[in-house]
A and B are shown apart, each in its own frame.
Chain A
Amino acid sequence: MAEQETGRRSDGPPLLEAHNVHMMFGGLMALHGVSLHINKGEILAIIGPNGAGKTTLINIFSGVYHPNPGRILFEGVDRTTMPPHHVAALGIARTFQNVALFKGMSVLDNIMVGRHLHMKSGFFSQGLYWGLGQKEEIKHREYVEWIIDWLEIEHIRKTPAGMLPYGLQKRVELGRALAAEPKLLLLDEPMAGMNLEEKEDIARFVLDANEELGTTICLVEHDMGVVMDISDRVVVLDYGQKIGDGTPEEIRNDDRVIKAYLGSVGR
C-alpha cells in the first residue's frame, strides 16, 4: 500500500501550476491571486463555499477563461492563453457541474467523441470508410467498449444520453473524459446530487482511474467525507482566495478553514 502511495507523490515538477491567477467578470473579481500546483499522479481536491470561485478555476484550467493577470503552466510550459481545444490536446479532460452530455447522441457516441483527439483518420478515409476509416473506428471502439465495461454501463450504450437518469449521465460523462486518456482529469462536482451508493461507485471509479491508469485528478467537491478520504491534498478557496493548502489532516485542523467553511468535520 505504502509503495503505491509514494508512487503518487512524485518528486518531479508539478503537472499543473497556477501562479497569481486573477479573474474578473464584469465588475466582480471572482479570483484574487490564487496560486497552487498539482503534482503528477495525485488526487487534489478543491473545496470551498458556493461562489468561492472553484468552477471558475476549473474553467481557467481547461482554457475557457484566461486569467488576467496570472499564469498557468502545464508540464512546465506556459499555456495561459491557449484556446480550449488546444488545452484538450495537451491532455486535460474534464467533467462539468451541470452535466454537459450531448443529449442527441447515444452513450456510445458520446464516449467516442472523447476519443476525438486520438482519431487520426482524414476526411476522405472517413467518407470512404471501408479500409483505413473502418479500421480506426474499430480500434477506438474497442477502447471505448473497455471503458464502458469498466464503468459498468454496457446496458445503456445505445440509449440517447438525454434519456438517462442523472446518476448514469454523470458516469457517462466520466467515461467520456477518460476516453481521452488524459494526463490531468478535472472533475467538477462529480458527486453532486447522488445518493450514498452512487457516490461510492463514483469514488471507486475515480480512485481506479488514478491508481490503475495513473491519471492525475483535480476534483471539486462539496462532500467532505469523500474529499477527506480519497484526496492526497486539499486546496480551500473562499471568496476567490486560497485560504488553505495541504493534506486532508492539515486542512481539517486549520483554523482559518474551520472558521470560514468547515465548522466541525466529524468522520
Chain B
Amino acid sequence: MVSAIRSLWAGDHREGLSDGWRRATEDGPVPLGHKPPPKAHLDPHGRAECDPMIYRECGVFKATYKEDMAIFPIPLDRWGVGAIVAAAVVLVPLVANDYWLGSILIPFLIYSLATLGLNLLTGYAGQLSLGHAAFMAVGAYTAFNLSSRLALPVLLCFLGAGTVSAAVGLVFGIPSVRIKGFYLAVATLAAQFTIEWVIAHVPWISGGSVLGTIDTPPMKILGMAINTPLKKYLLTLFVVLVLTLFAKNLVRSKVGRAWMSIRDMDVASEIIGVSQFRYKLLAFAVSSFYAGVAGALISFCYLGAVQVTEFELFLSFQILGMVIIGGMGSILGSFLGAGFIVLLPIFINQAVRLTTGVLPTDLLSNIELMIFGGLIIFFLVVEPFGLARLWHTIKDKLRLWPFPY
C-alpha cells in the first residue's frame, strides 16, 4: 500500500516543484515548495475574468449563459439594483405625494435600517437579541441632545447617535461572551427594560418631561432647512443607502464570514482562530449603531416628536419579526421584511374594507396581531430563509424561463 500511495503521489507531481524555500512574490510569501498561485486572467478593466468577488455569480452565469441560451443578460442584478436606486432617487420625488413619502416610504426605509442592524446581529452572527428597540431609543435621545444642546449639524448628530448606541450596545453585549441561546435573549431584555427606565427617569436625557417626550429641533444641511417630507425622504434615503452599502461590504468580507462562522458553529470557529469575544461584541456594536441611527431618523425625519413608549418591547419583537419574515442573514431580506410589515396594516385595512366594510379598530389591530404572529410561524416552518430566499427562487426560475430546467 505504501508504494501505491507513493506512486499515486508521484504521478500527480506538480510541475515546477522544488525542494522549497519560501519565495516572496509581489503578493507575499508563497507556500513552501510551490510556484506562486496562478494569477487570475485579467480582463481589460483589470478585473479577474471569473472572480466572483466582483461579479457575484460570475462563474455560474458564464457557464450557464453560454450553455443554455438564457434570455436575460448577465449583469441583471446590477442593473436591477441600479434601477431601483435610481427610481428611489429620481422617480419617487416626482410622483409620490406627501402621504406616501411621510407615512410609507420614510418609515419603510427607517425600519429597513433597524432590521438590517438586527439582521447583522441575529441573522449573520447568530446572537438573538430582544432589546433592539432600546438601542434605537438611545440613538433618538442622543441625537436630540446633540442637536439641541450642542447645535451640531444633523449628519453629525446621526453619527453621534449611532456611536453612543454602539457603545451602549457593546456594554449590554458583554453577556453574549458567556451566555448563549435563549438565555442570551433574556439577558438582552435586561437592556430593553433598563434603558427604558433610565430614559424615563433621568431628566437630563429627555429634558424632564413626562414619559421623556421630546420634540426634535428643526434640521438644516448646508443652510438649507429640511422641513418638507420630500427633503426628509431624501435625507433618510441617503443615510440608509450609505449604511446599507457598508453592511453589504461587511458581510462579504472577513467580518461577515467570522460572524457566520460563530453562528454556525462557535466552538469550531474559535479553534480556527476567530476571537469570539471580539466578534460577538463587534456584532452588538455595529448592530446597535444601525439601531441608533434608525432611532435618530425616527425622531428627526419621521415622527418629529418621540416618547420612551415609542421604543417599547413590542417594537423589538416587530423588528425581529421583520428579520424572520424577510430572511435571516440577508441584506435584501431586511428590506423585504420591513416593507412587508409596514404595508401589512394597510393591506389588511383595504382587504377588510373591500370584504366586510369597516371593523372596529380594536378588532382590526387584534387581527393584525394574529396575522403577524401567524406569519412568523409560517415563515419559520415553510421558508426559514424568508422572503429573500423566495425571491431568489423566483429569480432562478425566471433565469431559465421559458426552459423548464
Tell me, in angstroms, the Cα distance from A237 to B369 when the chains sit together: 61
Asked if B257 is at the interface (CB within 8 A of a chain A CB), the reply is yes
Name the one of A7, A103, A176 contacting B264, with C-beta atoms under 8 angstroms: A103
Contact assessment for A267 and B31 in the assembled complex, using a CB-CB cutoff below 8 Å: no
Contact assessment for B5 and A230 in the assembled complex, using a CB-CB cutoff below 8 Å: yes
Contact assessment for B32 and A214 in the assembled complex, using a CB-CB cutoff below 8 Å: yes
Name the one of A88, A116, A213 contacting B258, with C-beta atoms under 8 angstroms: A116
Contact assessment for A113 and B249 in the assembled complex, using a CB-CB cutoff below 8 Å: no
The count of A-to-B residue pairs whose CB atoms sit within 8 angstroms is 150
Given A116-B257, A123-B255, A229-B1: A85 and B270 interface contact (C-beta under 8 Å): yes
Contact assessment for A129 and B249 in the assembled complex, using a CB-CB cutoff below 8 Å: yes
Asked if B269 is at the interface (CB within 8 A of a chain A CB), the reply is yes
| Chain A binder among B198-206, B220-228, B273-281 | B273-281
Write out the residue numbers on chain B whose beta carbons fall within 8 Å of the beta carbon of A141.
Answer: 51, 53
Residue of A nearest to B247 (CB): A127
Measured CB to CB, the closest approach of chain A to B260, in angstroms, equals 5
Write out the residue numbers on chain B whose beta carbons fall within 8 Å of the beta carbon of A230.
Answer: 2, 5
Interface size class of A (residues with CB under 8 A): 35 or more
Name the one of A64, A113, A121, A181 contacting B31, with C-beta atoms under 8 angstroms: A181
Contact assessment for B60 and A158 in the assembled complex, using a CB-CB cutoff below 8 Å: yes
Tell me, in angstroms, the Cα distance from A229 to B246 when the chains sit together: 52
Contact assessment for B261 and A102 in the assembled complex, using a CB-CB cutoff below 8 Å: yes
Name the one of A7, A123, A200 contacting B282, with C-beta atoms under 8 angstroms: A123
Write out the residue numbers on chain A whose beta carbons fall within 8 Å of the beta carbon of B19.
Answer: 4, 7
Tell me, in angstroms, the Cα distance from A62 to B267 when the chains sit together: 11
Write out the residue numbers on chain A whose beta carbons fall within 8 Å of the beta carbon of B267.
Answer: 64, 100
Write out the residue numbers on chain B whose beta carbons fall within 8 Å of the beta carbon of A203.
Answer: 5
Contact assessment for A180 and B268 in the assembled complex, using a CB-CB cutoff below 8 Å: no
Contact assessment for B271 and A117 in the assembled complex, using a CB-CB cutoff below 8 Å: no
Measured CB to CB, the closest approach of chain A to B256, in angstroms, equals 8
Contact assessment for A133 and B249 in the assembled complex, using a CB-CB cutoff below 8 Å: yes
Measured CB to CB, the closest approach of chain A to B130, in angstroms, equals 22
Name the one of B38, B250, B272 contacting A113, with C-beta atoms under 8 angstroms: B272
Residues 16-33 (chain B) with a chain A CB within 8 angstroms: 17, 19-20, 27-28, 31-33
Name the one of B1, B31, B253, B272 contacting A133, with C-beta atoms under 8 angstroms: B253
Tell me, in angstroms, the Cα distance from A101 to B250 when the chains sit together: 21
Contact assessment for A129 and B264 in the assembled complex, using a CB-CB cutoff below 8 Å: no
Asked if A112 is at the interface (CB within 8 A of a chain B CB), the reply is yes
Interface size class of B (residues with CB under 8 A): 35 or more
Name the one of B32, B53, B254 contacting A138, with C-beta atoms under 8 angstroms: B53
Given A102-B261, A102-B264, A129-B249: A114 and B272 interface contact (C-beta under 8 Å): yes
Contact assessment for B274 and A85 in the assembled complex, using a CB-CB cutoff below 8 Å: yes
Asked if A89 is at the interface (CB within 8 A of a chain B CB), the reply is yes
Residues 204-218 (chain A) with a chain B CB within 8 angstroms: 204, 207-208, 211-214
Measured CB to CB, the closest approach of chain A to B178, in angstroms, equals 13
Measured CB to CB, the closest approach of chain B to A262, in angstroms, equals 16
Best-surrounded residue of A4, A112, A129 (most CB of chain B within 10 A): A129
Residue of B nearest to A248 (CB): B2
Asked if B231 is at the interface (CB within 8 A of a chain A CB), the reply is no
Tell me, in angstroms, the Cα distance from A208 to B9 when the chains sit together: 7
Tell me, in angstroms, the Cα distance from A136 to B83 when the chains sit together: 30
Write out the residue numbers on chain B whose beta carbons fall within 8 Å of the beta carbon of A181.
Answer: 31
Contact assessment for B1 and A100 in the assembled complex, using a CB-CB cutoff below 8 Å: no
Contact assessment for A126 and B249 in the assembled complex, using a CB-CB cutoff below 8 Å: yes
Measured CB to CB, the closest approach of chain B to A41, in angstroms, equals 10
Tell me, in angstroms, the Cα distance from A230 to B96 when the chains sit together: 72
Given A142-B40, A158-B60, A212-B32: A119 and B254 interface contact (C-beta under 8 Å): yes
Contact assessment for B5 and A200 in the assembled complex, using a CB-CB cutoff below 8 Å: yes
Interface bits A102-134 vs B (CB < 8 Å: 1, else 0): 111100110011101101010100111100011
Contact assessment for A94 and B5 in the assembled complex, using a CB-CB cutoff below 8 Å: no
Write out the residue numbers on chain B whose beta carbons fall within 8 Å of the beta carbon of A103.
Answer: 264-265
Name the one of A64, A89, A123, A129 contacting B273, with C-beta atoms under 8 angstroms: A89
Known: A113-B258, A203-B5. 18 other contacts (CB 8 A): A7-B19, A62-B271, A64-B267, A85-B275, A89-B273, A93-B272, A109-B257, A113-B269, A116-B273, A126-B249, A127-B247, A129-B249, A137-B254, A145-B40, A207-B6, A214-B33, A225-B1, A230-B5
14 A-B pairs (CB sep. < 8 Å): A64-B267, A84-B270, A85-B271, A85-B272, A102-B268, A104-B329, A109-B257, A109-B260, A114-B272, A117-B273, A139-B28, A145-B37, A180-B272, A229-B2
